[in-house]
Chains A and B, each alone.
Chain A
Amino acid sequence: MLTTFLSLTTATLASTADGEPGFWFKTWLGEPTRSPVAGHSDSAFMYIWWFCVVWFIFLMGLMFYFVIAFRRKPGKIAPRSRDHNSKLEIFWTIVPTLMLVHIFWIGFEGYMEKVTPPGNAMELKLTGYKWSWDMEYPGGVVVNRGTSAGKVATDAAETVPIFYIPADTPIRLRMNSTDVMHAFWIPNFRIKSDLIPNRYTGLWFQASLPASGPTIKYHLKSKAEENLKADPNSTFSEALAGEPYEDHWIFCAEYCGTGHSEMAGIIRVVSAGTYKKWLADQANPSTLSPAERGARIYKARCISCHSVDGSSGTGPTWKNMYGYPFAHTDGTSHVNDDQHIAEAIRYPNKHIRADYPAGGMSAFPESLLSNKQVEYVIEYMKTLSDKAPATTPEETQKPAEPAGAATPAEKK
């Protein structure tokens, strides 16, 4: 009997997963997921939902019926009735127990699917830090909000990274955090795992594209759509022209401090062919100048503390910083030349600027920024200063590079 029951409910689960989602499914979970392994847990959720609805209506129905039927009437006392019934009590202990075992089993099945990646899954390396994500693709291409960024809304405070993912390919993430705990959550794929500083954790998913033609379909609603259509920070908009793609949010789900609620990201699912073109372009961004690359690094790593428009943040602005002298708390004063800025990035507490508190900046060792990347950042700083050494006439005349031009507008 039990096996019949189990197979029956499993069949119900399967059929709800295939059919058009009903009202309650849409109310709870929105659009059906594009991730095949998430279908099982959606069915499980809806199964538990109806289980809860039936029990709740049954219990509350009894309660309201009793309250009305046995309301106090003046002069009447309650008749004697049983104060226990062993058979009934054993019955209502065993039946819920069996039902709970069944729900546990459904959850266990779905869980095994969700945590067991197929052997042929493509591995990507995800690093979380306060307050964004870096994804390392095969071949060493690192994508973050400096290299490919969108925004949560047109008027959102921060940019978020966009990670391109090939459709219908199992993806396995190897995840790690460089500071505190974070959690990587893709709500549309119903999957989440913590990022822990002293160990690697994992997660896998697979996403399909809608079967429709070459129209661009967005999973994201509201203002994010218009923004992503324009996508001013993406270097790869042209390759997407006419290609179908679909976006899904990434949120940090483990509280990690000030920027926790801005620690979002976007998974952009594209066709396998588009993905290949995109990856090749990322691997060889030969068209970018050093300053443009510096601007990308700035947006990924520096923007939360340093502005480029002259306003003061947690740290000093980069506008007119290069080439100017500043006083330090130890009484010295240095002109911000290449040497001094490189030192300040590697060892920020060696000399502390008199107008900013000590310990405000964490050090960026080579593991976080390579020597080459430090050079790019300094090149970018030069474009922001009127004391930069002139290399070509054009460069001094247009201090803001294409990527930098968008920055003052979105700056907080």
Chain B
Amino acid sequence: MGSAAHNHDHGHGHGSYLTPKGGFMTTVFDWATTVDHKKIGVMYLFAILFMFFLGGLAAIAVRVELLEPVRVAADGVITGQLFAPADQKAVGPGNEIYNRLFTLHGAIMVFMVIVPSIPASLGNFFLPLMLGAKDVAFPRLNLLSWYIYVIGSIFAVSSIILGGVDTGWTFYTPYSTTTGNEFGRVIFMVMGAFILGFSSILTGLNFIVTVHKLRAPGMGWFDMPLFVWAVYSSAIIQVLATPVIGITLLLLTFERVFNVGIFDPKLGGDPVLFQHFFWFYSHPVVYVMILPGMGIISDVLSVHSQKKIFGYRAIAYSSLGIAAVSFIVWGHHMFTSMSEVAGVVFSGLTFLVAIPTAVKVFNWISTLYKGSIALTTPMLYGLIFLFLFSIGGLTGLPLGTLSTDLHLHDSYFVVAHFHYVMMGGTIMALLAGMHHWWPKMFGRMYNEFWAKVGAITVFVGFNLTFFTQFFLGTQGMPRRYASYIDEFQIYHQISTLGSLILFLGFVIHFFVFVASLASGRKAEQNPWGGLTMEWEAASPPTEHNFDHEPLCKHGPYDYDTTVPPGWDPKDYPIPAENLKAAKEAH
């Protein structure tokens, strides 16, 4: 096992993992060949944030294009097309650029940002720390996953350099098997997604083994932080579902390259089969995206209100429950292309998945009851998550309901709904986690005031951008349209204005983080008073994480039994007699 390579060697283990190993080239080489889960986590974080920036630029371009509908005046002058070639004679070329932009946005955000975001960056960094382990179970495999991620991203992004892909991130057949004469681009994008799948599988496998085998002495399954439970549940989905998309994308490539008829009716295939295959992966993966975010929220709400999480077991089991049910609801993406009987069955199953999700929200809000709530930036993002995720969850109801979905399917209502869940859920949770663990990761505090200004800007921009899209959807605006009828324009203008505010919010966060790295105040070991094991490590952690073999002395959220009255988290560690009492109570 890889971690055996790290013999307990105090001579090297005491420095921060961030301390450079020598000159510039030596340090670069050290990072590029590291098997340290913390460095790999940080490298993932920066890679993912870079891709988030690229995908965000594409989104802004899409929004700006939609400020005006496309119009052709009597003299042939085309207006409302931002990206059309100068000598355009038709709206077609401008539409094609728009189609490539939204495909780029979707593919990057799904495959390169949201799926790996929390597990690969914060999960990699904190899963072993929270378990009291020195590293993940297979450190070299972990590094390999990162390289596979980078190679997959390069593959996918290179399709842009070759001219872009216009299939939508869903690659629906037979459009995806027939579009574009230079089919290499679609193949590049598909192969990129295929390669990224391996990164996902290997990371998932690594985490499952780590959770099973590397928990600190004394830590039972129900002593694990809920973030670990959530990452564990999503790792199971990753390992089981990702091979399906791998096979599907491979079949797609076979069809394009060798003309094997699988999905294209012209060759004897069935396009609906592709949708089944695709959503059999892509629906469970929705929960790969959201479960780790739910884990972060469980931790953040508990720590920043210094209150034991309400219904620990219910939250842990509901994570597993969601993981299980997620495999049998894929058909709700296909109510308009399936048989009626299948539609009814999948609608019923879809409502099933709403229940554990609702239970989680009830538990989170109950956790706040009689807490000691500090409105720090992570807590603010926790509350923003609850607000936006509740809207996202509730607006799922008319989509799961059969009669209303026949109207709302493939409309802007769907676009708004999944942005509330994916961005309002996962990305807000990622931001909560980044602000929560930033002091631990980099040993520096950030400016709380400006971070909160950023959070509120993001919140306002987000709602302006996406709430308007619910109205667009119910009034008849289909998704993936480069143009629209006049009465929709006011909604599109508000939405675009919101997206620019949203962008501004992220710019503020960027500068807050840069300023923190450059000149932030040195962080305490435990600035928020968390009881999970990562706070027992130094800020930033030493290379071997812990100076001693950590022991699990209390539950992850046992504030009531562990913390003495009047104790300030900054006076870490907790007095020994309290720990003893807590252990007995536990």
Contacts and interface: CB of A to CB of B under 8 A. Distances in A.
A101 to B, nearest CB: 7
Given A44-B401, A114-B403, A251-B478, 13 more contacts: A44-B398, A70-B368, A84-B311, A107-B404, A110-B402, A183-B409, A251-B481, A253-B411, A255-B175, A255-B480, A261-B480, A262-B95, A412-B91
A66 interface: yes
B374 interface: yes
Interchain residue pairs A-B with the least CB separation, the first 4? A110-B403, A187-B476, A107-B401, A198-B265
Contacts of B310: 82-84
B354 interface: yes
A67 B375 CA distance: 8
Interface string A97-127: 1001101101111110111000000000000
Interface stretch (A72-80, A139-147, A270-278, A367-375): A72-80
A114 to B, nearest CB: 6
Contact of A253 (B95, B307, B373, B409): B409
Given A59-B390, A258-B99, A81 B340 contact: no
B402 A108 contact: yes
A135 B89 CA distance: 29
B174 A29 contact: no
A223 interface: yes
A193 B563 contact: no
A204 to B, nearest CB: 12
Given A56-B394, A187-B407, A409-B74, A261 B365 contact: no
Contacts of B92: 258-259, 304, 313-314
A344 B271 CA distance: 30
A70 B271 contact: no
A286 interface: no
B471 A27 contact: yes
Nearest to A111: B402
Interface residues of B, number: 104
A403 interface: no
Contact of A72 (B359, B362, B373): B373
Contacts of B478: 185, 251-253, 261
- Residue in A76, A81, A106 whose Cβ sees the most chain B Cβ within 10 Å: A81
A144 B388 CA distance: 44
Contact of B486 (A48, A96, A223): A223
Contacts of A384: none
B570 to A, nearest CB: 13
Interface stretch (B203-211, B212-220, B343-351, B448-456): B343-351
B311 to A, nearest CB: 5
Contacts of B70: 157, 261
A197 B475 contact: no
B373 A45 contact: no
Contact of B375 (A71, A85, A104, A410): A71
Contacts of B15: none
B359 A194 contact: no
B518 interface: no
B328 to A, nearest CB: 15
Contacts of B565: 77
Contacts of B474: 28-29, 45
Interface of B: 69-74, 76, 78, 88-92, 95-96, 99, 166, 168, 172, 174-175, 178-179, 181, 265-266, 270-272, 305-314, 336-337, 340, 343-344, 347-348, 351, 354-355, 358-359, 361-363, 365, 368-375, 383, 386-387, 390-391, 394-395, 397-398, 400-407, 409-411, 471, 474-476, 478-487, 557, 559-560, 563, 565-567
A43 B368 CA distance: 36
A236 interface: no
Interface string A253-284: 11111111110000000000000000000000
B361 A192 contact: no
Contacts of A254: 172, 336, 410
A407 B489 CA distance: 27
A93 B73 contact: no
Contacts of B314: 84, 89
7 contacts: A67-B368, A79-B370, A180-B271, A187-B476, A258-B95, A262-B95, A313-B92
- Residue in A60, A82, A111 whose Cβ sees the most chain B Cβ within 10 Å: A111
Contact of B394 (A55, A359, A411): A55
B31 to A, nearest CB: 39
A221 B487 contact: yes
A333 interface: no
Contact of B311 (A89, A255, A261): A89
A194 B74 CA distance: 34
Contact of B566 (A77, A83, A97, A108): A77
Contacts of A115: 340
A59 B364 CA distance: 10
A359 B266 CA distance: 17
Given A257-B166, A257-B179, A180 B404 contact: no
Contacts, number: 314
Nearest to A92: B362
B406 A190 contact: yes
Nearest to B558: A83
A383 interface: no
A202 B340 CA distance: 11
- Residue in B178, B401, B481, B567 whose Cβ sees the most chain A Cβ within 10 Å: B401
A253 B391 CA distance: 24
B178 A93 contact: no
A222 interface: yes
Given A41-B403, A155-B74, A59 B410 contact: no
Given A77-B565, A258-B99, A71 B403 contact: no
Given A155-B71, A155-B72, A111 B411 contact: no
A181 B263 CA distance: 12
B395 A81 contact: no
A148 interface: no
A312 B85 CA distance: 14
Contacts of A76: 372
Contacts of A197: 174, 265-266, 271
Contact of A260 (B181, B394, B471, B480): B480
A101 B351 contact: yes
A265 B565 CA distance: 71
Interface string A178-208: 0111010101101111101110010000000
Given A254-B410, A412-B89, A70 B336 contact: no
A103 B168 CA distance: 32
A299 interface: no
A100 B69 CA distance: 39
Interface string A303-325: 01001000111100000000000
A51 interface: yes
A390 interface: no
Contacts of B166: 257-258
Nearest to B270: A198
B383 to A, nearest CB: 7
A356 interface: no
A92 B566 CA distance: 34
A405 interface: no
B563 A77 contact: yes
Nearest to A52: B394
A83 B174 contact: no
Contact of A67 (B266, B336, B383, B391): B383
Contact of A104 (B71, B351, B557): B351
Contacts of A311: 76, 89
Contacts of A96: 354-355, 358
Nearest to B167: A255
A89 B359 contact: yes
A30 interface: yes
A54 to B, nearest CB: 10
Nearest to A201: B337
A158 B92 CA distance: 11
Contacts of B375: 67, 71
Contact of A60 (B390, B483, B485): B390
